[in-house]
Amino acid sequence: MGLKIRYTAGQTPLDEDEKEGLLIETITTKAELDEFEQLNIENAVQWTMQQPFRREIFFTETFIKDLHQKMFSDTWAWAGVFRKTNKNIGVDKLEIGIELRKLLDDTLFWTHNQVFVPDEIAIRFKHRIVSIHCFANGNGRHSRLLADVIAAHIFRRPVFSWGAATTSQQDVRIHYLQALKAADLGNIYPLLLFARS
């Protein structure tokens, strides 16, 4: 029967090969997939908040991959592996490593030189990494958790609320996508406001 997914605005469709990477054959709907992924993600969140990380570990390709793997390893065989196909968003699959290295170097520079305030560094990082779109799926959730990790571990700030004050999940998604589009056009501040609302 296979996995049937109806994608909403802002979601990255999986190709058939990527769907074959689903580790739980009994999952057939998007709701079941979301529920199982959420359990996996909650375990990854716990892991990130309990680790005594050294600051320099965060801004490495290894950490970026390891975190995605922790978030989705119970669900997808390709968790933590850079995507092998081009998507409706993101850089060309062959440029992922190059663009990620640039982002990691930029973020280290911003951090060491206090180019932006801490929250802005975390949100700029989140926006750039989701724009690169390193993985076949889960990039938005991965980028939000990375921003939380940067806020909590690098700057000793509270994690972001990601629109928790918004009344409905549909409104949260609408505001999030609007803020991302503004960031795509060079205005990071709506995304920063959304992250702390």
Which CATH number do you get for residue 85? Answer: 1.10.3290.10
Return the pLDDT at 148: 95
b or e along 159-185 (b: 16 or more beta carbons within 10 Å of the residue's beta carbon)? bbebbeebeeeeebbebbeebbebbee
**The two structure tokens encoding residue 78:** 């390709």
Query: Which amino acid, 13?
Result: P
- List the domain range (segments joined by +) for residue 139: 16-160
| Residue that is written with structure tokens 């929250």 in the block | 119
Kindly give the parts of the chain with pLDDT less than 70: 1-13, 53, 167
Counting the structural domains of the chain, the total is: 1
Return the pLDDT at 73: 94
Q: Is residue 2 part of a domain?
A: no
Return the pLDDT at 2: 61
Q: Is residue 165 part of a domain?
A: no
Q: Is residue 193 part of a domain?
A: no
Q: Is residue 98 part of a domain?
A: yes
Q: Any long-range contacts for 137-143 (C-beta under 8 Å, 24+ apart)?
A: 137/12, 137/14, 137/18, 137/72, 137/76, 138/37, 138/68, 138/71, 138/72, 138/76, 138/79, 139/12, 139/90, 140/10, 141/37, 141/41, 141/71, 142/67, 142/68, 142/71
Q: Is residue 74 part of a domain?
A: yes
Instruction: Collapse the DSSP code of 22 into the 3-class scheme (helix H, G, I; strand E, B; otherwise coil) and give the result.
Output: strand
Contact (CB, 8 A) for 163 and 172: yes
Q: Is residue 170 part of a domain?
A: no
Among 133, 142, 153, 175, which one carries the catalytic annotation? 133
The residues with which 76 forms a beta bridge, in sequence order, are 22
| 133 labelled catalytic | yes
Q: Is residue 132 part of a domain?
A: yes
Q: Is residue 172 part of a domain?
A: no
